[in-house]
């Protein structure tokens, strides 16, 4: 009985702390951002979200390395845009 009461008190304190962190009263995400080691523990307890890795932007394709298929597709897109503009002009004139 002497061990049960302190153990119950410890579990209650941990539960209260977890509940406050889960609700957002305790800023667990900020603590995770500051300490990478502690962040793993908070993530495992579902109190913080893992940082997403940054993805490097893709470099623009070199115009000299454009394949003939891509060239044909871009020419068709340009032709369709021109036809669409001509159709819109014809509709407004009508």
Give 64's pLDDT tier (boundaries 50, 70, 90). low
Considering the chain, what is the average pLDDT of its residues? 85
Highest mean pLDDT among 15-24, 57-66, 67-76, 82-91: 82-91
**Residue 41 confidence (pLDDT) above 90:** no
C-alpha dist (Å) from residue 8 to 14, 18, 45: 10, 15, 21
Task: Please state the φ and ψ torsions of residue 78, each to the nearest 5 degrees.
Answer: -65, -40
Q: What is the pLDDT of residue 61?
A: 64
Q: Under a CB-based contact definition with an 8 Å cutoff, are residues 70 and 78 in contact? A: no
pTM for this entry: 0.47
**Residue 23 confidence (pLDDT) above 70:** yes
CA 84 from centre of chain: 37
C-alpha dist (Å) from residue 84 to 9, 71, 77, 88: 74, 20, 10, 6
């Amino acid at each position: 009985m002497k061990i049960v009461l302190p153990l119950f008190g410890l579990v209650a304190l941990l539960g209260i702390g977890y509940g406050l962190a889960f609700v957002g009263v305790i800023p667990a995400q900020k603590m995770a951002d500051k300490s990478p080691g502690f962040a793993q523990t908070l993530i495992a307890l579902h109190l913080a979200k893992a940082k997403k890795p940054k993805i490097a932007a893709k470099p623009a394709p070199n115009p000299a390395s454009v394949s003939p298929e891509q060239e044909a597709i871009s020419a068709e897109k340009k032709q369709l845009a021109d036809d669409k503009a001509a159709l819109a002009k014809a509709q407004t004139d009508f």
